């Protein structure tokens, strides 16, 4: 059997979870990746609450392998300001005091691990935020000590979280992404080094965040073969010719045709998913392929349906023997 194809629910957070399940089933999906905070309240400790979610998923034949907490995870290491108020639940934002927000976000990540356990899944996908993202372009010159302190800050904040995850048998998969402590192959390795390769920490692989940067997104799979905990299928297009707004985006919104790059429905951008599937087969990844659909120029229902069809068409099981093995006669 080929891998499960699931739909990430965060982009459908305006709809109740049951409606998302109903739609996902009609689009051909095998399961759901539940996005927090819209479709799951991890403060709820009632076993009946989690059984109700399981029953709802079963009603529509939806598998659940992962829950995701990108928005709350972002606040753990970020330099908190007014932007975060719009993405965080009120109980995390509170009075907006930066250190208090970071502390409440860390507590929520631990509650999320307990919720994952209650739902019978072993992987939580999310962000980390970063105290040093603003130093990406090193001018004025950024001393190495400032970058090193950023990674130390990340380790101080995340190691206690990961220790709790490990106790519960849950893994945390960072989506390597701009604004996070890891945004390419080099910084991903540096993040692992900062954590002393904590066994509960790995990656949610999403090639769309690598392609327009010029990062070898297939090689990333081979570099971190034992740390690919989850996979997002998301495409991106970047231009062959110069654009008014370059790789940094020019402060224009996603989808604006002035941009050098934009996310696109799976199969309509420039990501080579054929090579990704072959690499995932090579490392033995058997988890789901989760559609994180973010194409600003396309109706989301059309996009979700065609992305599912594309992913199921391109995915395949690896061979259990070399093609030329049959040539040898005993």
Q: What is the 3-state secondary structure (H, E, C) of 257-292?
A: CCECEEEECCCCCCCCHHHHHHHHHHHCCCCCEEEC
Confidence of residue 327 (pLDDT cuts 50, 70, 90): low
Confidence (pLDDT) at 319: 79
Contact 186, 224 (CB under 8 A): no
Contact 307, 233 (CB under 8 A): yes
The residue assigned the tokens 């009946």 is: 48
Confidence (pLDDT) at 324: 59
d(CA 63, CA 54): 9
Does 330 have pLDDT greater than 70? no
Instruction: Dump pLDDT digits (tens) for 203-221.
Output: 999 999 999 999 999 999 9
Does 300 have pLDDT greater than 80? yes
Confidence (pLDDT) at 321: 66
Kindly report the backbone phi and psi dihedral angles of residue 78, in degrees, each rounded to the nearest multiple of 5, phi listed first.
-70, 160
Confidence (pLDDT) at 320: 76
- pLDDT greater at residue 288 or residue 328: 288
Instruction: Dump pLDDT digits (tens) for 69-80.
Output: 999 999 999 999
268: nearest Cα among 231, 298, 232: 298
d(CA 216, CA 224): 13
Residue 235 to residues 14, 44, 45, 265: CA-CA distances in angstroms?
23, 35, 37, 6
Helix (H, G, I), strand (E, B) or coil at 99: helix
H or E stretch at 171: strand 171-175
Confidence of residue 19 (pLDDT cuts 50, 70, 90): very high
């Amino acid at each position: 059997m080929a891998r499960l194809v699931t739909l990430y629910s965060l982009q459908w957070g305006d709809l109740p979870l049951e409606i998302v399940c109903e739609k996902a089933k009609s689009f051909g999906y095998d399961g759901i990746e539940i996005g927090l905070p819209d479709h799951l309240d991890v403060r709820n400790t009632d076993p009946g609450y989690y059984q109700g979610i399981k029953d709802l998923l079963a009603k529509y034949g939806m598998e659940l392998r992962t829950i995701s907490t990108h928005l709350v995870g972002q606040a753990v290491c970020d330099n908190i300001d007014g932007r975060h108020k719009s993405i965080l639940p009120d109980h995390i934002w509170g009075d907006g005091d930066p250190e208090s927000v970071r502390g409440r976000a860390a507590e929520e990540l631990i509650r999320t691990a307990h919720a994952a356990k209650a739902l019978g899944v072993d992987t939580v996908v999310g962000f980390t935020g970063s105290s040093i993202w603003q130093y990406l372009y090193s001018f004025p010159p950024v001393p190495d000590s400032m970058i090193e302190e950023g990674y130390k800050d990340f380790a101080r904040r995340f190691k206690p979280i990961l220790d709790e995850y490990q106790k519960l048998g849950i893994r945390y998969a960072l989506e390597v992404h701009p604004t996070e402590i890891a945004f390419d192959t080099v910084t991903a390795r540096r993040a692992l080094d900062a954590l002393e390769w904590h066994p509960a920490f790995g990656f949610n692989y999403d090639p769309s965040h690598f392609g327009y940067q010029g990062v070898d997104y297939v090689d990333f799979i081979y570099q971190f073969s034992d740390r690919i905990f989850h996979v997002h299928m998301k495409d991106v297009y970047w231009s062959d010719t110069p654009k008014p707004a370059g790789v940094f985006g020019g402060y224009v919104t996603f989808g604006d045709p002035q941009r050098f790059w934009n996310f696109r429905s799976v199969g309509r951008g420039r990501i080579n998913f054929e090579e990704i599937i072959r690499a995932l087969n090579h490392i033995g990844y058997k988890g789901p392929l989760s559609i994180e659909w973010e194409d600003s120029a396309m109706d989301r229902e059309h996009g979700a349906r065609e992305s599912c069809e594309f992913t199921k068409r391109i995915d395949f099981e690896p061979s259990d023997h070399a093609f030329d093995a049959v040539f040898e006669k005993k």
